[in-house]
A = this chain, B = another copy of it.
Amino acid sequence: MAGQRRSPTQVDVARRAGVSQATVSLVISGGALGNQVAESTRQAVLQAAAELGYTVNAVARSLKGGRNRMLGLYTFEPVFPVDQRDFYFPFLLGVEEATAAYGYDLLLFSSAGSGGDRRIYAGGVNRLKVADGCVLLGRHLHRDDLAELAKEDFPFVFVGRREVPGVELSYVAADYVGATSEMVAHLARLGHRRLAYLKVTDDREWTRDREAGFRQGLVAAGIPDDQVRVFAMDERAALSAVRLQDWLAAGITAVLVEPTDDDSAIVALENAAAEAGVRIPDDVSVAVLGDPPLSEATARDWTRFTLPREQMGREAVRILLELLNDNVSARQLYLDCTQVAGDSVTELPE
């Protein structure tokens, strides 16, 4: 078994077909140039290649700058570990589906390591280049990795809006601004005109976008700033029952919660409510600005919006191929979220 026989190269094929290696290259992967080859020569080469079981070496081709019909998927967090699966899997599905539809293969850069902190340039090596281009995914990215990638002019598209100073990135993002603004409108229509906004302090694109949408929604609904409370939560400042009661005393009737990558913000709110003896939605309405994975405890039909995750994956691939084939510059795409009515928001009596 296992002759460990090195696989045939174009030189081998050339020898067998009685032509030069360059000619073999031309017929195997010449594209337009391949048409210059005489039909008889082409047949001889193809036959020799088939007889030897020749396949082109993707690495050599990449090195030279050729294409491999391979798209990469790089994630800054491991996609497969149990707690992240539900969140990331739909993106993966979308990416895989579109990749297949366009006739490409999908390279999962799992070698980056299963540890939490993944780097594109781990050990000073950029693996990504074996692929023709790459879809990037994950919240805990490294901006300098992205800057470096962009500097190298390697085609990539991020799933989710990402800003890197001085670099114009391509991405496919959920329209958090619109979805949040729409949520405010929804609440306003139900009579809620005094709102609290519970956010995480982490100053990230999605945090800023939602807050911008919130402000925009306030303006559209004609709700003045003094009717609003904004509270930023972090490790040191959790939401207390006292604060929640303060809000209610001040006339707040609805809370908008920005979820992080888990349901901790929601849990915090529920705990505060339980402690304060406040019922949802009877005493206060709650709208969740997204659809994070929920643990057993928080599993209820929250009023929320969902991200078009599979579609985001698909569109990222589509844009990546545009970057690749049409030589266009960076592109940004926003996709609509879907509002889900849920049962954590109720109409306010006049």
Contact = CB atoms under 8 A, between A and B. Distances in A.
Nearest to A74: B105
A128 B59 CA distance: 9
A133 to B, nearest CB: 11
Contact of A327 (B2, B59, B60): B2
A251 to B, nearest CB: 46
B55 A125 contact: yes
Interface in A91-148: 93, 96-97, 99-101, 103-114, 121, 123-130, 148
A106 B103 contact: no
Given A28-B124, A124-B28, A55 B130 contact: yes
A56 B250 CA distance: 60
Contacts of A107: 70, 105-108
B329 A57 contact: no
A54 interface: yes
A114 B101 contact: yes
Interface of A: 1-7, 28, 46, 49-50, 53-63, 66, 68-70, 78, 80, 93, 96-97, 99-101, 103-114, 121, 123-130, 148, 151-153, 155, 168, 323, 327-330
12 contacts: A1-B168, A4-B327, A7-B126, A54-B124, A56-B125, A58-B130, A59-B129, A99-B108, A100-B111, A105-B127, A107-B107, A108-B108
